Homo-oligomer: A and B are copies of this chain.
């Protein structure tokens, strides 16, 4: 029950759901997600920690950046089924499609450049 509630609470915020959808098929670093959503870095970090706590994302650190990704087959059943449900339900939604489109632009940019813009 505790595990389940951690997942549903994580999924009860639209920004967090959009983050999961943006992570389909690739990993993203915090600054890219921040750029995508136009939120403060601290806010994005908090959202990601909620998702991480629910087992809905994994993270790794490389050089200066922290990358988040969806967990693969190694994830607990509950989380995996939740993610399947999210992707199946909203994979083709307006919001997800628009995010994917903007994400394409962001992926072309240099990470350092993104971060520099956010530090202003």
Interface residues of chain A, those whose CB is within 8 Å of chain B, are: 1, 4-5, 8-9, 11-12, 14, 17, 78, 81-82, 85-86, 88-90, 93-95
Contact = CB atoms under 8 A, between A and B. Distances in A.
Given A4-B17, A9-B12, 9 more contacts: A5-B14, A5-B17, A8-B8, A11-B11, A12-B12, A81-B85, A81-B89, A82-B85, A85-B85
Main secondary structure of the interface of A (DSSP, over half): helix
Nearest to A14: B5
A5 B93 CA distance: 12
A5 B88 CA distance: 14
24 contacts: A1-B17, A1-B90, A1-B93, A1-B94, A1-B95, A4-B17, A4-B86, A4-B89, A4-B90, A4-B93, A5-B12, A5-B14, A5-B17, A8-B8, A8-B17, A9-B12, A11-B11, A12-B12, A78-B89, A81-B85, A81-B88, A81-B89, A82-B85, A85-B85
